[in-house]
Structure 1
Amino acid sequence: MRDEKLLGKIAALLRQAEGTDNEHEAQTFMQAAQRLATAASIDIAVARAHDPAARAATVPISRQVTIGEAGKRGLRTYVLLFVAIAHANDVKVDVAHNSTYVLAYGFPGDIDSVETLYSSLVVQMVAASDAYLKSGAYKGETAARVVTRDNGWRRRRVVEEKPLSAITARLNFQTAFADRIGKRLTDAREEARQQAQEAERAASTASTAIALRDKEIEINDFHSQESTARGTWRSSSASSGYSDAARQAGDRAGRRARLGVEPELSSRRRLPRDVG
């Protein structure tokens, strides 16, 4: 669990992001919150590298996080969003075969940060995609998919264009939204790491790079030992159509997304019930 003072600072940044109608200001506050979370994660990693007691007290864990109910359509895009956030916060993820839950592997504070970010952003993703569909902007667009056609003795794969359906538009929109969020958070993380390493270079030390490398190795080893996952999770099925228009709309929404939920890490926010 994060330090209460740190949580207060992150919460203040998130409230500022929510309180502004300026897209660039919202992004600035959101990225500041991610940089703060990253800085705290670096501090813990460096402390563990120098203090055996701290290393013993904070170890990687695995935690199951519910994504949605079995049978709901579109859970893969929810998982994609969770994985994108996890990647920016040093957390590895295994995905259930039906995408109803994930297993997160990492340090407790990092997993807390991922869940906090996800609980806000998944609500925004669903709301933004609902608004896109209600606007009717997807109507008149097409979706492309690769299909196999049988021409007598020979089969060939061709690209087929069909009118863009609402479900395909939603999936493409949410996929692009998740991808954009992942890029934004990763940029903020890298900026925080670069700042920490530049400060150390000025002081002729190199603790951060070593600590982060050791942390990555430790999490990878823990995941290898604990994970029972088989195969590789895919974010989309082969039958899903591709829509450039819907993805552009989702990317724009991902750029505008803001974090406005205070990190109450002791309670989990209910996920949207309308999936698909």
Structure 2
Amino acid sequence: MRDDKLLTRIAGLLRQAEGTDNQHEAEAFLAAAQRLATASSIDLAVARDHDPALRSRSTPITRQVMIGTAGKRGLRTYVQLFVQIGRANDLTCDVASNSTYVMAYGFSSDLDTVEALYASLVVQMVSASDAYLKSGAYKSETAEQVVTRDIGPWRRRVVETKPLSPITARLNFQSAFAERIGARLLVARDEQRDNAIRDEQAGSDPAAGTGPGERESSSTAIALRNKELEVSDYYAQESTARGTWRPSRATAGYSSAARRAGDRAGRRAKIGSDREFGSPRGALES
């Protein structure tokens, strides 16, 4: 299992993000936190690939993560945020039909990282959407909604434009926030993976008779692929989910203005605090 010191180091980077008013610095610290998590994940994957004993001790698991209580509105955007973070950290997720919890499949260390990141980011997502609604900026905007209407003898689905309601504004804002966070974390993860493989390609192992480029096929790239397949196989065996979860429904209404605001907030997001990383796991209500 990953050393607790890793989460402490990630928390330190994220506190630095909170401590700056410079958007570019905040983004850099977030990217550094994700790259650190990815580097540790790569190290573990490579070690497992070379150590059968470690491989037998460290295997994928299933963890149920509570998102909120039944009946709370907006839980789908909370789930969307968790799934986006999980995707950047090698998790596969199933979602409860009412979005109250997620079943996450992957390695324990990756699950720990995702829960730590989520605990911080969901607080910021809610805070940013609250500020957006409080500003009143949404009141002059509109939303598009697909509805069914009787038109003559036929019932047809049509797109109608209506004033943007607070709940539609919040859902669009938070959905765009989650998408932007996911994109940022994926970029940081892919950069770290590329760097690890490139560093390996640039080296050589004279004792083994290998040269630049030859070690990639026997270590980092292979280890990452093996890890991916192991999680995929485990998920296929353990999951009982039916159907495909989608982050949003057309009937909720679509607002480009609220999504732009959420995207901007996702770009500015700063993560982490001691209390968030040290708090017990539990449901986060909408």
Please report the TM-score for the alignment, with normalisation by the length of structure 1: 0.95
Q: Matches of residues 192-207 of structure 1 in structure 2 within 5 Å?
A: 192-203=192-203, 204=212, 205-206=215-216, 207=219
Contact 1:68–1:100 (Cα < 8 Å) also in 2: yes
Q: Which residue of 1 aligns with 2:257?
A: 245
| In 1: Cα distance, 2:5 partner to 2:243 partner | 41
Name the CA distance, whole Å, in 2 between partners of 1:23 and 1:89: 24
Decide whether the 8 Å contact of 1:77 with 1:171 is kept in 2. yes
Work out whether residues 61 and 106 of structure 2, in 8 Å CA contact, stay in contact via their aligned partners in 1. Answer: yes
Contact 1:11 1:263 in 2 (8 A): no
The separation in 1 between residues aligned to 2:198 and 2:271, in whole angstroms, is 28
CA distance in 2, matches of 1:20, 1:124: 15
Report the Cα distance in structure 1 between the residues aligned to 2:184 and 2:193, rounded to whole angstroms. 15
Written as runs of structure 1 = structure 2, the 5 A alignment for 1:1-276 is: 1-203=1-203, 204=212, 205-206=215-216, 207-262=219-274, 267-268=279-280, 272-273=284-285, 275=286
Say if 1:146 and 1:137 are closer, same or farther in 2 by CA, change over 3 A.
same
**Contact 1:49/1:55 (<8 A) preserved:** yes
Moved more, 157-166 or 142-151: 142-151
- What's the secondary structure of 2:76's corresponding residue? helix
Q: Distance in 2 between the 1:171 and 1:180 partners?
A: 14
The separation in 2 between residues aligned to 1:192 and 1:32, in whole angstroms, is 9
Would you say how many aligned residue pairs link Structure 1 and Structure 2? 274
Residue 239 of structure 1 aligns with an amino acid whose one-letter code is: T
Separation (CA, whole Å) in 1 of partners of 2:194 and 2:228: 17
- Using the alignment, how far apart are the partners of 1:9 and 1:70 within structure 2? 35
For the Cα contact (< 8 Å) 1:123–1:271, is it kept in 2?
A: no
Deviations 1:25-47 (A, max 9, x none): 01101100100000000000001
The secondary structure found in structure 1 opposite 2:59 is coil
Helix, strand or coil: the match of 1:239? Answer: helix
> Post-superposition shift, 1:272?
4.8
Cα deviation code 1:34-73 (max 9, x no counterpart)? 0000000000000111110110111000000000000000
Q: Which amino acid in structure 1 is aligned with residue 16 of structure 2?
A: Q
Asked if structure 2 preserves the Cα contact closer than 8 Å seen for 1:60 and 1:108, the reply is yes
Cα deviation, residue 150, structure 1: 2.0
| SS class of match (1:94) | strand
Q: 1:200 to 1:262 in 2, by over 3 A?
A: farther
Q: Which moved more, 1:2-11 or 1:50-59?
A: 2-11
Does the 8 Å CA contact 1:144/1:241 hold for their aligned counterparts? yes
Deviations 1:151-200 (A, max 9, x none): 22333332100000000000000000000000000000000000000001
Work out the CA distance in 1 between the residues paired with 2:275 and 2:197. 27
Superposed CA RMSD: 1.5
Q: Distance in 1 between matches of 2:35 and 2:5?
A: 15
Letter in 1 for 2:21: D
- Equivalent pair of 1:126/1:272 in contact (CA under 8 Å): no
Return the TM-score normalized by structure 2: 0.92
Amino acid at match of 2:80: L
1:254 match: secondary structure: helix
Taking only the aligned residue pairs, the percentage that are identical comes to 68
SS of residue in 1 equivalent to 2:105: strand
The 8 Å contact of residues 66 and 284 in structure 2, kept in 1 or not, is answered as no
Structure number with bigger Rg: 2
